[in-house]
Amino acid sequence: MKKALLPLLLIIPAACTQTPKNTEKSYPIVDSLLRVMTLEEKVGQTVLFTSDWTVTGPSIRQGYIEDIRAGRCGSIFNAYTAEYTRKLQEVAVNETRLGIPLLFGYDVIHGFRTIFPINLGMSCTWNPGAIERSARVAAKEAAAAGLHWTYSPMCDICMEPRWGRISEGAGEDPYLGSLIAAAMTRGYQGKDLAADTTVLACVKHYAAYGAPIAGRDYNTVDMSERWLREYYLPPYKAAIKAGALSVMASFNELDGIPATANRHLLQDILRDEWGFTGFVVTDYTGIPEMVFHGYADDDEDAGRLAMNAGVDMDMQGAAYMNYLADLVRSGAVKESTLNEAVRRILTVKAKLGLFEDPYRYCSPEREKSQTLTQENKAEARAVAAESMVLLKNDGVLPLKKGVKTAVIGALAASKDDLLGSWRGAGEVESVPASILDAIKEVTPVVYAEGCQEEGEDRSGFAAALAAARGASQVVLVIGEDCQWSGEAASRSDIHIPGVQSELLEKLAAAGKKVAVVLLNGRPLDLSAESETAGAILEAWYPGTMGGYAVADVLFGDVNPNGKLSVTFPRTLGQVPIYHYAKNTGRPYRYTGAKYESRYLDVPNEPLYAFGHGLSYTTFKYSPITLSADNFSGSGNLEARITVTNTGTCEGIETVQMYIRDLVGSVTRPVKQLKGFTKIALRPGESREICFTIDRCTLSFYRADMTWGPESGGFKIMIGGSSDNVQEASFSYEE
Ligand code: NOJ
């Protein structure tokens, strides 16, 4: 392996769930403005419209510039470049009575111009530091193009592969998801929101948007308060604790109440419990959609419900613009409620430094010098390689350089698909190499398209087989078109589409050991491919530098070290499947007994478990040694394990620690991720890893919904994957 290895990364367990303390500074400019603003001007600050530059929802409002000029619209999204945002800002600053600057938002989801891997891929790095750096790069590029506000981090826990938006999140686990949510927030906002290199983060989609019934986008969500709090809320909370100052209400309903008018979520939990002081924005037309939900009579009623529930800003709904002033005049909304919303929005504008210099973020010079730089691209290439997960390897990888290699698949030649969905302002012209191009730079290549990602056309099979026969090694790039992930991209079938798998079968039947590279945005059913492929590298949609990053991993310049942040089922019938399942009263004991919790036709276990990911080297784990077999109160216990690189090349391992609480006042999962550490080891090198277990590690929502641990027996499990662990037992006395 040529590349330098990562230094030891110790991931410190997230702190116990104390309410974050937000010390609010007040801004005199905000008070002065509120004193002189008319009712209409106040309403204008609660209105957010899209420009017509990018379409991210079903409706576009014509005449948004006129709205700005008339003071009807205080924020704009989907408009960017230093030049264009300056032009719009000039209208707000010079042509409205009070000259309040606009706030410019955009979906900077996994990069702005330099595109990083999709977020699901990034989460497989299990490297919050690298994720924070990627968010910093994105913020720098976006802030230079006039943007103040990104609609990220997406904090939706998801165990539903049918849902296209699983690609935008950090997977199924609340512990890992929380670390990532906090890292992204820090990356975007930095230490100083007013700096011209930072942008405001927006925590979305609050809440539980990642659990739509049957995986259909925008569908109903329903779950117990306990499940919500334990598994779904932690990442949103972690981002807020890290300082995020805006939150987006989700499209879905929860327990029968749309999130956009859900006071329990927006007031009780978000503000009263978590101390959130920023502002809440709806998702795209979230307010009028409450009429379709059957929760509001009409748009006016929906506007009343949203404002009274704690929604400060209306994205694209026009309900606040059209009705809020009248609702205040009639007393249906208190003026003090509107004042509070406006105060929150203006305070964030003040924190961004917009009242000092509304054009601070519009810099054509910075836009040129800080965008798509060599440094940004190097960061993207490194993270992309780190995000890839080697699912299977029968000794096929790494490939040899300088050896004739057949590269097959339409996706191999695609630059566009590398960028994935929600690619910010990323352009295909900025992608220097497809996977095919990058492989060509290291080895002689014969290329055959074989087939497209979709459709039944097998006419390219013969040429693909001929190419494979004439080569010493074969790479097949297959997966999903990148627009099959993201918003409004749910699938009812999670197989690899079209005839791509059939092509793999044919290549395998011809005696070829095929290295499959997958480009996709969700866990797929790979049962068939896992039998026929010689190796499977899950490359997700790896971004601008993704072609090179794939080649880096295929040819061993980078030893793969990604680990799955989401479970890959054997079949859709196992979904939802996740590593923190419970034991049930009739656990499966593999005895052949009938009345056990299992399927008749497939095993209970997934195809690839959460935490799985191979390396070109191998790691051996010693048994666990505990510093004691019990501890109590605020004490702690140390669990040590020695990991040895038993292979022939250096590699990076993610050592994962899981806990099981054997008996509780409510039942507990069979395993739950509670800590991890990433270590680099040379061949033959060993390192002892120590995890500290304290009452915080053991805490959960007890039967009375208080947060804390309970006395009793516990199991600790440590290993390189959730399904490959060493075990030890201890007890705790509260
Ligand atoms: C709808 C999406 O749900 C959300 O994630 C996005 O930020 C907004 N549209 C704005 O584009």
Calpha distance 290→301 (Å, rounded) = 9
Judgement on whether residues 387 and 517 belong to the same structural domain of the protein: yes
Residue-wise pLDDT tens digits, 599-608: 999 999 999 9
Using a 6 Å CB cutoff, which residues line ligand 1?
56-57, 107, 151, 204, 283-284, 487
pTM of the model: 0.96
Question: Which of 107, 196, 283, 437 is flagged as catalytic?
Answer: 283
Residue nearest to ligand 1 atom 7, measured at CA: 151
Judgement on whether residues 641 and 540 belong to the same structural domain of the protein: no
**Cα(55) to centroid of ligand 1, in Å?**
10
Contacts of 119 (CB under 8 A, 6+ apart): 109, 110, 153, 154, 167, 168, 169, 170
Asked if residue 662 belongs to a domain, the reply is: yes
Residue 649: give the domain boundaries.
619-733
Judgement on whether residues 551 and 672 belong to the same structural domain of the protein: no
Chain centre distance of CA 495? 22
Judgement on whether residues 549 and 479 belong to the same structural domain of the protein: yes
**Cα(170) to centroid of ligand 1, in Å?**
17
Calpha distance 723→434 (Å, rounded) = 35
DSSP state of 15: P
Atom of ligand 1 nearest to the CA of 205: 5
Asked if residue 59 belongs to a domain, the reply is: no
Asked if residue 402 belongs to a domain, the reply is: yes
Alpha helices, DSSP H, located in 459-565:
461-469, 500-509, 527-532, 546-554
The CATH number for 445's domain is 3.40.50.1700
Judgement on whether residues 544 and 417 belong to the same structural domain of the protein: yes
Retrieve residue 462's tokens: 């013969």
Stretches where the chain sits below pLDDT 70 are 1-24
Among candidates 558, 555, 522, which has minimal Cα distance to 538?
Answer: 522
Calpha distance 8→3 (Å, rounded) = 15
**Cα(259) to centroid of ligand 1, in Å?**
15
The CATH number for 686's domain is 2.60.40.10
Atom of ligand 1 nearest to the CA of 105: 10
Judgement on whether residues 429 and 549 belong to the same structural domain of the protein: yes
Of the three residues 519, 550, 574, the one that is the final residue of a domain is: 574
**Cα(422) to centroid of ligand 1, in Å?**
10
Q: Among 166, 423, 487, say which to mutate for ligand 1: greatest number of ligand atoms within 8 Å of CB.
A: 487
User: What per-residue confidence (pLDDT) applies to 513?
Assistant: 97
Q: Among 107, 118, 490, say which to mutate for ligand 1: greatest number of ligand atoms within 8 Å of CB.
A: 107
**Cα(107) to centroid of ligand 1, in Å?**
7
Residues in the chain, overall count: 734
Backbone angles phi, psi at 321, to 5 degrees: -60, -45
Retrieve residue 407's tokens: 């590269």
Judgement on whether residues 408 and 557 belong to the same structural domain of the protein: yes
Judgement on whether residues 529 and 672 belong to the same structural domain of the protein: no
Residue nearest to ligand 1 atom 11, measured at CA: 56
Atom of ligand 1 nearest to the CA of 78: 11
Q: Among 108, 217, 284, say which to mutate for ligand 1: greatest number of ligand atoms within 8 Å of CB.
A: 284
Calpha distance 68→631 (Å, rounded) = 62
Backbone angles phi, psi at 98, to 5 degrees: -100, -10
pLDDT, averaged across the chain: 95
Asked if residue 173 belongs to a domain, the reply is: no
User: What per-residue confidence (pLDDT) applies to 292?
Assistant: 98
Residue nearest to ligand 1 atom 3, measured at CA: 283
- The 3-state DSSP class for residue 65 equals helix
Asked if residue 106 belongs to a domain, the reply is: no
Active site residue 283: yes
Judgement on whether residues 529 and 643 belong to the same structural domain of the protein: no
Asked if residue 54 belongs to a domain, the reply is: no
Q: Among 49, 55, 56, 156, say which to mutate for ligand 1: greatest number of ligand atoms within 8 Å of CB.
A: 56
Give how many domains the chain has, as a whole number.
2
Judgement on whether residues 523 and 378 belong to the same structural domain of the protein: yes
Neighbour tally for 40: CB within 10 Å: 13
Atom of ligand 1 nearest to the CA of 168: 5
Asked if residue 294 belongs to a domain, the reply is: no
Atom of ligand 1 nearest to the CA of 316: 10
Retrieve residue 663's tokens: 């008996």
User: What per-residue confidence (pLDDT) applies to 62?
Assistant: 82
Judgement on whether residues 663 and 522 belong to the same structural domain of the protein: no
- Are 168 and 7 in contact by the 8 Å Cβ rule? The answer is no
Neighbour tally for 323: CB within 10 Å: 24
Asked if residue 489 belongs to a domain, the reply is: yes
Of the three residues 518, 551, 574, the one that is the final residue of a domain is: 574
Calpha distance 108→135 (Å, rounded) = 9
Judgement on whether residues 650 and 545 belong to the same structural domain of the protein: no
**Cα(487) to centroid of ligand 1, in Å?**
8
**Cα(326) to centroid of ligand 1, in Å?**
28
Neighbour tally for 2: CB within 10 Å: 9
